[in-house]
């Protein structure tokens, strides 16, 4: 047996790998042309040449090296088989079989496409490890076959694991299952909607048009199942497929599935939700709001609320020339229309100078800048005295309305309020201190939803004026300060937005609800006086608290406070902080959390140090 080393086989392996690399560049990077043919041809020649060279080396190898040489040659062979499989499913195969393999036998083409990279991996990984092991024994007089075998098995094991991993990933991707845990829930019936259903005294038909086993249909049906428990005798919910029942669908004005129709007598209110869950998400999150809006339209009589005009009031119209434009109340009116309120304008031409129309459920005076004529004030007073409903939203730069407020026991001081501790920062100027915010509500029916939501729905009052209760109150007048300012608010008499010595802090009334008995047989007079008209302006009314304040005010004024309550919505909300909260969050996240971890670490390591055995005192030291 010869013990003479036969030299390293590494150059052959390098040539073999270079050949494979040339084929890869030719086929995958160049793809077409002469370059591709040259590189691919060169690569094949190198790979086959290295295999032949290895074969001749095996024949001349000493007995101790023969086993390792044969393994390496076997690996070369596997690599060549992989190349053959690749060429069979490439354009070489197309030329051979006079047509692409993917068309002739598609399954075989897929098998070959998956098999050739797997075989290449089974060649290259073990080859690299066997060559590494061989290189370590290059100068050894006798090659330790066991070491090379371990390397071979390691390489094959790694290659198999990688192939298994890719196969697993492929299967997982093909048979993927998804769970959507992001913020999305279909709204549940809110308290207000439940109250409307409870108050039904005639049948209300709800027809859901969805195909069977539709995800959106299931969500909507569940919503109405929850709701129907409130009035099983009057609320009839039926689910139909428009394709199966086209005649009934047509009768309700429905031509596609994905629609809900609420009908009572001749009145029909459709609500289109859609059929695809991804598109219907937004609708489902607001479902309670949308259903309530249609429910009010079909189940309750329409009320008329007049908004006075002609005195610089907030309106949807263009600003008067020469006057600074102020936020309109278009959004407020839209909100009221959604509550089944008929919003109308009331100026001198509509009778404000003589008498308030008989169909007025309430009259709103929102932010006038000019005085009313005495005749107009008289008409409003007469209306109030005969059980009318007044909604006065005043402003410091407008009239004080003492003729209307005196009988209600209120006085508008026209002094702007400010707060240097709790306010909305909008321009980062001192004047921001006039942007009051509060979550201090009473239990009055005109703020039912706000008090139920507690601190979750603060109300913004940008530029409110000071209001005072008269003492003693006029006979029979009952007042409730439904919304108060923060306790640190002061009447900023000189308008410098800084608290001066004469400006005391107190929880000023911002909204006062007044009730006064009327002559026998009449409804009691109701009025809501707000110290700020801006709280109802566009932009601010989109704030949840301001919207609830407006809606509940109208409901109380029109005698529908029984259906007041929060609407259920699952819509995501923007996160808003005050400056102080920003600072608190910063310290909590950047310092407090890490400091706590360090403190725990310090305590744990110190305690362990104390528990550690002390060095034994030398016996001689003992007494």
Partner 1 sequence: MKALLIARRELAGYLRTLSGYVVIAVILALNGLFFNAYALGGASKRSAEVLSQFFYYSSGFTIVASVFISMRLLAEERQTGTLPLLYSSPLRDRDIVLGKYLAGLTFLGLYVLCTLYMPLLVMVHGKVSFGHVAAGYLGLLLLGSASLAVGTFGSALARNQLLAAITSAVLLVALILCWLLARITEQPLADVFSAMSLWNQHFPPFQSGLVHVRDIVYYLVVTYVALFAATRVLEARRWR
Q: Which residues bind partner 1 (CB under 8 A)?
A: 28, 113, 129, 132-133, 136, 146-148, 150-151, 154, 157-158, 161-162, 165-166, 168-169, 172-173, 175-185, 570, 572-577, 581-582, 585-586, 588-591, 593-595, 597-598, 600-602, 604-605, 608
Instruction: Say how far apart CA 392 and CA 525 lie, in whole Å.
Output: 14
Shortest Cβ 185–partner 1 spacing (Å): 8
| Residue 147 vs 239, nearer CB to partner 1 | 147
Nearer to partner 1, 148 or 336 (CB): 148
Query: In terms of CB distance, is 179 or 622 closer to partner 1?
Result: 179
Residue (475 or 576) nearer to partner 1, CB: 576
Q: Smallest distance from the beta carbon of 207 to partner 1, in angstroms?
A: 32
Beta carbons of 535 and 464 less than 8 angstroms apart: yes
Euclidean distance between CA atoms 297 and 397, whole angstroms: 38
Tell me the closest approach of the beta carbon of residue 283 to partner 1, in angstroms. 17
Closest distance between partner 1 and the C-beta of residue 466, in Å? 30
Q: How many CB atoms lie within 10 A of CB 509?
A: 22
The neighbouring-strand residues paired with 235 are 204
Nearer to partner 1, 179 or 616 (CB): 179
Torsion of CA 238, 243, 246, 249, to 10 degrees: 40
Q: Which helix (H) or strand (E) holds 80?
A: helix 63-88
Residue closer to partner 1, measured from CB, 256 or 456: 456
**If DSSP codes are grouped into helix, strand and coil, which group holds residue 423?**
coil
**What distance lies between CA 448 and its chain's CA centroid?**
27
Find the angle CA(102)-CA(108)-CA(114) to the nearest 5 degrees.
95
Tokens in use for 389? Answer: 């409903």
Q: Which is nearer to partner 1, 574 or 620 (CB)?
A: 574
**204-209 and 360-366 as β-strands: parallel, antiparallel, unpaired?**
unpaired
Phi and psi torsions of 346, nearest 5°? -135, 100
Output the smallest distance, CB 97 to partner 1, in A: 21
CB of 571 to partner 1, least distance (A): 8
ω into 163 cis (within 30 of 0): no
Can you tell me the distance from the alpha carbon of 52 to that of 47, in angstroms, rounded to the nearest whole number?
9
| Inter-residue long-range contacts of 276-283, CB under 8 Å, 24+ positions, other chains counted | 276/216, 277/215, 277/216, 277/219, 280/216, 280/219, 281/184, 282/571
Helix (H) / strand (E) element for 239: namely strand 235-240
Query: Nearer Cβ to partner 1, position 402 or 577?
Result: 577
Q: Within 13 Å and on the Cβ side, how many CA atoms surround 2?
A: 9
Report, in Å, the least distance between residue 183 CB and partner 1.
4
Query: In this structure, how many other beta carbons lie within 10 angstroms of the beta carbon of residue 604?
Result: 10
The β-bridge relationship of strands 204-209 and 235-240 is parallel
Q: Which is nearer to partner 1, 446 or 449 (CB)?
A: 449
Length of the chain: 623
Q: Which residue has the tokens 């009259």?
A: 363
Nearest residue (CB) to partner 1, 190 versus 258: 190
> Which candidate, 200, 269, 266, 271, places its Cα nearest to that of 236?
200
Joined tokens for residue 455: 């601190």
Least Cβ distance, residue 593 to partner 1 (angstroms):
5
Residue for token pair 């009572």: 264
Nearer to partner 1, 361 or 544 (CB): 544
Q: By C-alpha distance, which of 45, 61, 84 is closest to 8?
A: 61
Q: Nearest-5° angle of CA 165, CA 168, CA 174?
A: 140
* Cβ proximity to partner 1, 348 vs 453, nearer residue: 453
**Closest to partner 1 by CB, 318 or 428:** 428
Smallest gap, in angstroms, from Cβ of residue 543 to partner 1? 12
Longest Cα separation, the chain: 130
The candidate with the shortest Cα–Cα distance to 458, out of 510, 529, 497, is 510
- 469 pairs with which residues across the strands? 410
Minimum CB–partner distance for residue 489 and partner 1 (Å):
23
- Dist CA 163 CA 115 (whole Å): 10
Question: What is the smallest separation between the CB atom of 222 and partner 1, expressed in angstroms?
Answer: 18
CB of 74 to partner 1, least distance (A): 18
Cβ of residue 171: shortest distance to partner 1, in angstroms? 8
3-state secondary structure of 243: coil
> CB of 189 within 8 A of CB of 226?
yes
Burial class (CB in 10 A: 0-12, 13-18, 19+), 76: buried
- Residue 268 CB, shortest distance to partner 1, in Å, is 34
Q: Which is nearer to partner 1, 176 or 202 (CB)?
A: 176
Q: Which of residues 339 and 449 has its CB atom nearest to partner 1 in the complex?
A: 449
Minimum distance of partner 1 from residue 575's CB (angstroms): 5
Closest approach of Cβ 542 to partner 1, in Å? 13
CA 396 to centroid of chain Cα atoms = 39
Toward partner 1, which CB reaches closer, 494 or 589?
Answer: 589
């Amino acid at each position: 047996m010869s013990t003479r080393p036969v030299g390293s086989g590494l150059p052959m392996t390098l040539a073999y790998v270079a050949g494979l690399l040339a084929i890869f560049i030719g086929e995958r990077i160049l793809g077409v042309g002469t370059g591709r043919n040259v590189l691919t041809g060169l690569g094949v020649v190198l790979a086959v040449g290295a295999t032949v060279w290895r074969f001749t080396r095996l024949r001349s190898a000493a007995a101790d090296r023969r086993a390792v040489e044969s393994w390496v040659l076997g690996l070369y062979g596997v690599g060549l088989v992989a190349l053959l499989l690749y060429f069979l499913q490439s354009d070489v195969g197309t030329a051979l079989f006079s047509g692409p393999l993917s068309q002739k036998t598609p399954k075989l083409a897929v098998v070959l496409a998956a098999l050739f990279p797997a075989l290449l991996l089974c060649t290259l990984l073990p080859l690299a490890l066997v060559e590494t092991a061989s290189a370590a024994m290059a100068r050894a007089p006798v090659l330790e076959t066991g070491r090379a075998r371990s390397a071979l098995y390691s390489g094959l094991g790694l290659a198999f694991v990688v192939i298994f991993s890719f196969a697993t990933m492929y299967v997982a991707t093909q048979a993927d299952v998804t769970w959507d845990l992001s913020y999305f829930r279909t709204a549940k019936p809110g308290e207000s909607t439940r109250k409307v259903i409870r108050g039904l005294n005639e049948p209300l038909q709800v027809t859901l048009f969805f195909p069977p086993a539709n995800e959106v249909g299931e969500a909507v049906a569940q919503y109405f199942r929850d709701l129907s428990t409130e009035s099983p005798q009057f609320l009839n919910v039926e689910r139909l497929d428009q394709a199966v029942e086209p005649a009934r669908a047509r009768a309700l004005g429905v031509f596609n599935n994905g629609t809900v129709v609420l009908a009572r007598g001749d009145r029909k209110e459709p609500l289109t939700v859609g059929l695809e869950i991804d598109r219907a998400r937004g609708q489902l999150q607001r479902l309670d709001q949308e259903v309530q809006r249609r429910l009010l339209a079909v189940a309750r009589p329409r009320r008329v609320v007049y908004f006075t005009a002609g005195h610089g009031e907030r309106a949807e119209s263009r600003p008067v020339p020469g006057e600074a434009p102020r936020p309109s109340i278009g959004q407020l009116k839209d909100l009221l229309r959604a509550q089944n309120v008929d919003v109308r304008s009331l100026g001198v031409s509509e009778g404000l100078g003589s008498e308030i129309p008989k169909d007025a459920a309430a009259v709103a005076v929102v932010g006038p800048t000019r005085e009313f004529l005495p005749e107009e004030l008289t008409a409003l007073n007469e209306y109030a005295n005969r059980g009318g409903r007044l909604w006065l939203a005043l402003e410091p730069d407008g009239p004080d309305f003492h003729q209307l407020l005196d009988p209600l026991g209120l006085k508008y001081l026209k002094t702007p309020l400010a707060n240097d501790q709790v306010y909305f920062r909008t321009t980062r100027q001192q004047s921001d201190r006039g942007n009051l915010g509060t979550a201090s509500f009473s239990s009055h029916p005109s703020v039912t939803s706000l008090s139920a939501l507690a601190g979750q729905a603060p109300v913004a009052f940008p530029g409110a004026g000071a209001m005072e209760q008269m003492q003693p109150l006029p006979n029979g007048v009952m007042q409730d300060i439904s919304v108060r300012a923060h306790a640190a608010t002061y009447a900023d008499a000189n308008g410098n937005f800084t608290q001066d010595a004469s400006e005391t802090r107190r929880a000023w009334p911002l909204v006062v609800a007044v009730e006064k008995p009327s002559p026998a047989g009449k409804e009691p007079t109701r009025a809501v006086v707000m110290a700020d008209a801006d709280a109802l302006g566009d932009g601010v009314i989109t704030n949840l608290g301001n919207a609830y304040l407006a809606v509940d005010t109208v409901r109380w004024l029109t005698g529908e406070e029984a259906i007041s309550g929060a609407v259920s919505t699952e819509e995501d909300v923007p996160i808003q902080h005050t400056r102080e909260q920003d600072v608190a969050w910063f310290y909590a996240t950047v310092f407090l959390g890490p400091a706590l971890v360090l403190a725990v670490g310090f305590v744990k390591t110190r305690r362990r140090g104390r528990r550690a055995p002390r060095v034994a005192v030398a016996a001689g030291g003992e007494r």
